[in-house]
Structure 1
């Protein structure tokens, strides 16, 4: 078999070589010529997988090693009997850690007690649930909003969108959707931006387009933390210059998350091709026990990884894509031990 794979997919050669001949291509450069003779396509978020890309190709399987789905035309794949698998949840821990680390740093900057703040989590799927669990460990009160889950599960502790937007800290963790009963495109918009005050901390670590940036750039907040942008990599420089963290869509870019994305696709591809999994694949990430020297939570989290370096790296936005493709090694908290117990949940 022939495989076309985004060359940013973690350990693509080691993980997928058992299936056949691999042609690695930068995600933005994958086009119809690249996939014409391929049987398998494995992508991240930078490839638009649709009729234009796949029509006339031999592709039988598409795997996406990231959690987002807005780059995939699932209906086209279904209509053409092309197997599709998406690594939902692969980066949920990484994104939750990004948010918690930012909150602890902001508490230090603005001299507030994070246990006295409310955290509005909008979208309580894989990431939102992880984040809520960590917040609970830290004693942060959460306001959970997810109308899709609410309709399906009738959860008594969930709140309305307006209530969640009125929290001290508001963070978005929805997919980007344009239709259905609850589309998330411009979920924070002209009609509800009044809930955001000059004392609100706002995160977008979901998808660009969930927040209307044309209004956001005119709205005074306490701080903005922006990892996901409209029109990446041509991001809104007004928001970039004023954000506490302005990062290049890397909240989910831990080594663990990248590996898990590839591994989840690998598992499904083994099932699709009826091949046996290689046990060695599970051991590709083994950094051993990593020790922290810090004696307080703030310093410990920054010792694990300081996200300010990601903001500095793209002060020149021409570095946006290059930095993402060459992102520094970052392990999740479960690998670390030290004087301070990290909120691992």
Structure 2
């Protein structure tokens, strides 16, 4: 089977793709692919591997040899699943590969936020300890995670991995029920209660019509003014204008963002250019430990193997 990887640049160059190559007669890889390049690059492909390249109904209709789309991510809003069904094109995704990577990222950032590690390292580099009259040099104070309340919104593989580490830190974990629901399941807490009680809110839910702008001006105003917001899910979950205002006005204490609504973001993005001390932004890398990336590649190979054997593994169609 002939396959085309449309956006291999979304992965580290150090990964081993041989497990995928062994399942194919030919694998053609492109660093990135624009929408106008898909048809010309994939006209002979039976399999397309895509992370974020859009595959809409019009494109799929012009690829008569295509039999399988492998989405190299959990989210699948870049592929028209209904059109694929009509055209008898199988679609699969991957999940469960990034729990430890995301959880490690969340706590690396929280530890820096609460422990002020870089600040204290810099104090020593600047000679402030050497000139101290006391045996220690305090600098900025730091706080313990123990006893803090962590609100988790989205309790799948990622949310559960974060919760497990939080419990090891002796934090209180509140698992949010879905917003705008009147029924609260056992082990869950009403969304409004989580928003109001949490010292830290960590987002792990998918982007849907219901979750877009989930964290808006109203929600931000109900959070503690000492609260920290962490978003490693999707940028569109947060109203970015409202967040910028909330940080400027100290309605919340801090925000840690690994995702933005537009990726890559424009150079003039308001959050990137805010220069706020209480905002930290990274480039959608929480999922991307080397180990997690390799697990994802292995899962893609499993999906191809299953398809060749007539099995429905991780199928979306």
Q: Distance in 2 between matches of 1:7 and 1:65?
A: 10
Question: Is the CA contact (8 Å cut-off) linking 2:217 and 2:243 kept in structure 1?
Answer: no
**Corresponding position of 1:2:** 2
C-alpha change, 1:253 and 1:205, in structure 2 (3 Å) is same
Is 1:142 aligned with 2:173? yes
Tell me which of 182, 187, 198 is aligned to 1:157. Answer: 187
Q: Distance in 2 between matches of 1:227 and 1:28?
A: 23
Question: Is the CA contact (8 Å cut-off) linking 2:16 and 2:294 kept in structure 1?
Answer: no
More helix by share: 1
**Corresponding position of 2:149:** 118
Shift of 1:22: 1.0
Is 1:77 aligned with 2:107? no
Q: Distance in 2 between matches of 1:265 and 1:88?
A: 10
**Corresponding position of 2:244:** 217
C-alpha change, 1:132 and 1:13, in structure 2 (3 Å) is closer
Structure 2: gaps (5+ residues): 117-140, 311-317
C-alpha change, 1:264 and 1:146, in structure 2 (3 Å) is farther
Question: Is the CA contact (8 Å cut-off) linking 1:69 and 1:175 kept in structure 2?
Answer: no
Tell me which of 212, 221, 227 is aligned to 1:185. Answer: 212
**Corresponding position of 2:315:** none
Shift of 1:28: 4.0
What's the CA shift string for 1:238-277, capped at 9, x where partnerless?
32332542101110011111111111121121011129xx
Is 1:203 aligned with 2:237? no
Tell me which of 166, 170, 192 is aligned to 2:201. Answer: 170
Q: Distance in 1 between matches of 2:177 and 2:21?
A: 40
Question: Is the CA contact (8 Å cut-off) linking 2:60 and 2:84 kept in structure 1?
Answer: no
Secondary structure of residue in 2 paired with 1:217:
helix
C-alpha change, 1:142 and 1:112, in structure 2 (3 Å) is same
Shift of 1:104: 1.6
Shift of 1:232: 1.4
Tell me which of 55, 59, 68 is aligned to 1:49. Answer: 55
**Count of matched residue pairs:** 268
Question: Is the CA contact (8 Å cut-off) linking 2:199 and 2:228 kept in structure 1?
Answer: yes
TM normalised by structure 2 equals: 0.78
TM normalised by structure 1 equals: 0.72
Shift of 1:53: 3.0
Shift of 1:234: 1.9
Secondary structure of residue in 2 paired with 1:219:
helix
Q: Distance in 2 between matches of 1:142 and 1:27?
A: 40
Question: Is the CA contact (8 Å cut-off) linking 1:39 and 1:60 kept in structure 2?
Answer: yes
Secondary structure of residue in 2 paired with 1:224:
strand
Shift of 1:90: 1.5
**Corresponding position of 2:163:** 132
Q: Distance in 2 between matches of 1:71 and 1:93?
A: 25
Secondary structure of residue in 2 paired with 1:31:
helix
Q: CA RMSD in A?
A: 2.3
Tell me which of 16, 19, 39 is aligned to 1:15. Answer: 19
Greater C-alpha Rg:
2
Question: Is the CA contact (8 Å cut-off) linking 2:97 and 2:295 kept in structure 1?
Answer: yes
**Corresponding position of 1:342:** none
C-alpha change, 1:87 and 1:113, in structure 2 (3 Å) is same
Is 1:25 aligned with 2:55? no
Tell me which of 283, 304, 307 is aligned to 1:269. Answer: 304
**Corresponding position of 1:296:** none
What's the CA shift string for 1:274-306, capped at 9, x where partnerless?
29xxxxxxxxxxxxxxxxxxxxxxxxxxxxxxx
Q: Distance in 2 between matches of 1:251 and 1:105?
A: 15
